[in-house]
Amino acid sequence: MEFPLLVNKEPKSLTVAPLPSGEGHLARLDRQEYRFRWTPVNDHEWLLDVNGKLIPAYLATQGSETQIFIDGELFIVEDLGAADRRPRRRGGPDDQSRQVTPPMPAAVMRILVAEGEMVNRGQALIVLSAMKMETTLTAPHRGTIKKINTATGAQVMPGEILLEIEPAGEEQNGA
């Protein structure tokens, strides 16, 4: 997934993709590639593993900006495309409501469903952990789990499709 950013007022393009092993991500920034994973320490501190090097990072949010302090350097980051990645609540058959995505960078703790399983609206699907808090993602509608695209222990980012749900007949017709 591509993230258009302003970093210290300079436009940057960050591309992030999960590694096939599910053990972290590959990021491209300014033509540089980085293999990374992250572990939240507390609400504002994360431990980054970047190309095998452990680096503490400190985060603070102020308005639409995130301030990140890494290795003695302050980065002020603004995500220019955040509004475009927010799932829409209503829409046609191609709506993102068929897809379950994480609201923030997180680790997959538990997957509570299986492919082919029928689920009801509001049913717990997957448990994520971010910043020492667990979040349970629930089914946006009644349907069948079409595909699971993640695994327990995987590090996931907003916009990644964790689960795909095929709506039940009455959900497809807007009922």
Cβ atoms of 46 and 38 closer than 8 Å: yes
Residues belonging to the chain: 175
Q: Which residues contact 144 (CB under 8 A, 6 or more apart)?
A: 116, 117, 118, 119, 165, 166, 168
Q: Which residues contact 97 (CB under 8 A, 6 or more apart)?
A: 87, 88, 89, 90, 91, 140, 141, 167
| Nearest-5° Cα angle at 64, 160 to 35 | 40
| Tens digits of residue pLDDT in 158-174 | 778 889 999 887 555 44
Q: Which CATH class is domain 89-172?
A: mainly beta
User: Could you tell me whether strands 65-70 and 53-62 are parallel, antiparallel, or unpaired per DSSP bridges?
Assistant: antiparallel
Equal CATH topology for 2-83 and 89-172: no
> From CA 157, how far away is CA 51, in angstroms rounded?
18
| Tens digits of residue pLDDT in 85-116 | 444 333 344 444 578 888 778 888 999 999 99
Single out the residue of 113, 6, 114 nearest to residue 63, CA to CA: 6
Cβ atoms of 24 and 36 closer than 8 Å: yes
> From CA 128, how far away is CA 108, in angstroms rounded?
5
Instruction: Write down the domain spans for the chain.
Output: 2-83, 89-172
**Global confidence as pTM:** 0.50
| Tens digits of residue pLDDT in 10-63 | 998 888 888 887 788 889 988 899 998 888 887 788 889 999 999 999 988 766
> From CA 121, how far away is CA 174, in angstroms rounded?
13
Does the domain spanning 2-83 belong to CATH 3.30.700.30? yes
**Three-class DSSP category at 165:** strand
User: Could you tell me whether strands 118-119 and 155-156 are parallel, antiparallel, or unpaired per DSSP bridges?
Assistant: unpaired
